[in-house]
Amino acid sequence: MADTTIPGIKPLGKEKFWLGILLTPTVIGLVFGVLGSIVATIVLSFVQWDLIQPPTWVGFQNFIDLFTNTKFIKAMTTTITFAGLYVPGVVVISLFVALLMNRKIRGISIFRTIYFLPGVTSAVATAIVWNMIYGRDTGILNYIIEFFGGQPVCWLCNENALIAVVIVNIWGAIGEGMIIFLAGLQSVPRDYYEAATVDGAGNIQKFFHITLPLITPAIFFQTLITTINAFQAYEYVYMLTRRAGGESSVPVVVYSIYRNAFNYFNYGGASAQAIELAFIVIILMALYFWFERRFVVYD
C-alpha cells in the first residue's frame, strides 16, 4: 500500500502519548467486545451448550446438523432470496434518486432530507405505518386498488410477503445510498461533461460513458455495504411478518440465530448458524474485491 500519510497528521512525541490514551477505550472495546465475541462464537460452534450444564465438545456436529435442519434451510433460502432482490434494488434505485437530486434547483436540500428520513426514523414505528399501508382488509393500498375497481391483494400473505418486505427495506435504504452516490457524482469533474457536450454527446451517452465509469468506486462501496446489510436485515422483516409466539412468516437467519440461542437453549447450533452466515458474506466480499480489481476505476 502506498504511503498516503500527510506530514501534518503524523503524530509526534507528545501527540503520540495522547493518541494512545484516547484510543485505549476504543481498542479495549474492540478487543474484548468484537474480537472476543468472534473467538467465543467460533469456539461455541464446536460445542453443545445450554448455558447451565457444562459444554460438551461435539466437533463439526452442529454444522452437519444445519444441512438437515429444515427451519434453518428455510431461513437461509429466505435470506439469500431477500439479498438477491434487495441489493440490486437499493443500488439501482438510490443511484437513480441521486441523479435526480444532483442538480441545482430551489429547495433541493428539502428533497434530500425527505429521502434520508427513513434512515433516521425508528424501524419499529415505520413498520407499523407500513402495516397500515399493506393491510388486507383495512390497508390504504387495497383501498386505493378497490377505489379504481381492482381486486384487493393480501400483501403480507405468504407468496407476497417477501416482496412486500423487500420493498420496505429498499425504501428504508434509499436515503443512505443516495448520500454515497451524491458524493460520487459530485467528484466527477464538470469539464468532462463540457467536453462531451462539445463533441455532441447526449445525456444518456454522457451517463454511460462518463458518469457510470467514474462513479464505479461509489457503486462498489454501496454494493458492499448493502450486501452486508441484506444479510443482517431483521427489524422491518420481523415487524411486518411476525406471528404470535414470536415466529415470522418470512424467517431470516439472524432471527433464527436469536431463537436458537435465547429460546431453545441451543448456543452451539446458534453459533454454527452465525458462522455459516458470516462465511457466505465473506465469500461474497471476496468475489466483490475480485470484481473491484477488474472493473472499478480509481483516478
Partner 1 sequence: MKKQYLYVLLIGALLLSACGAKAPAEGVTEITVMQWGSPEELTVWQTITEEFQKVNPNIKVNVEVSDWDTYWTKVDTLFAAQTPPDIFAIDAPFYIDWQSRGALLNLQPYIDQTPGFLDGLYPKSLEVYHLDDGYYGLPRDFQTIVLFYNKDMFDAAGLEYPNDSWTYDDLRTAAKALTLDKDGDGKTDQYGFNYDTWDLEPGWGEVIWSYGGEIVSDDYTKTLLGEPKAMAGWQLLYDMMMVDKSIPDPIAAGEFGSDPFLAGIAAMTPMGHWAVPEYSTGGFNMDVAPLPKGPAGDRFTSVNSAGFVIAKDSKAPDAAWEFIKYATSEDAQKKLTELGFAIPVYQKVAESDVFLKQAAPINHQVFLDAIEYAKIKPSFKGYTEWSDVVGNALALIWSGEISLEEGIAALVVEADAVLNK
When asked if residue 50 is in the footprint of partner 1 (CB under 8 A), the reply is yes
When asked if residue 157 is in the footprint of partner 1 (CB under 8 A), the reply is yes
Q: List binders of partner 1 among 169-228 (CB under 8 A).
A: none
Q: Which helix (H) or strand (E) holds 64?
A: helix 61-66
Stretch 231-250: interaction string toward partner 1, x if CB under 8 A = ------------xxxxx-x-
57, β-bridge pairs:
47
Residue from 33, 34, 100, 136 in contact with partner 1 (CB under 8 A): 136
Instruction: State how far the Cα of 89 lies from the Cα of 86, in Å rounded to an integer.
Output: 5
Sole window of 170-178, 190-198, 260-268, 279-287 interacting with partner 1 (rule: CB under 8 A): 260-268
Q: Answer yes or no: are the C-beta atoms of 162 and 78 closer than 8 Å.
A: yes
CB closer to partner 1 out of 194 and 247: 247
Instruction: State how far the Cα of 165 lies from the Cα of 264, in Å rounded to an integer.
Output: 26
When asked if residue 259 is in the footprint of partner 1 (CB under 8 A), the reply is yes
Nearest alpha-carbon partner for 119 in 225, 29, 250:
225
Reading phi first (left if > 0) and then psi (alpha if -120 to 50, else beta), residue 196 is in: alpha
When asked if residue 263 is in the footprint of partner 1 (CB under 8 A), the reply is yes
Residue from 57, 143, 208, 264 in contact with partner 1 (CB under 8 A): 264
**Positions of E strands within the chain:** 47-48, 56-57
Instruction: State how far the Cα of 133 lies from the Cα of 139, in Å rounded to an integer.
Output: 5
CB closer to partner 1 out of 2 and 21: 21
Sole window of 80-88, 108-116, 119-127, 137-145 interacting with partner 1 (rule: CB under 8 A): 137-145
Query: Which set of grid coordinates corresponds to residue 265?
Result: 437453549
List contacts with partner 1 (CB under 8 A).
17, 21, 50-53, 70-71, 135-139, 154, 156-158, 243-247, 249, 259, 262-265
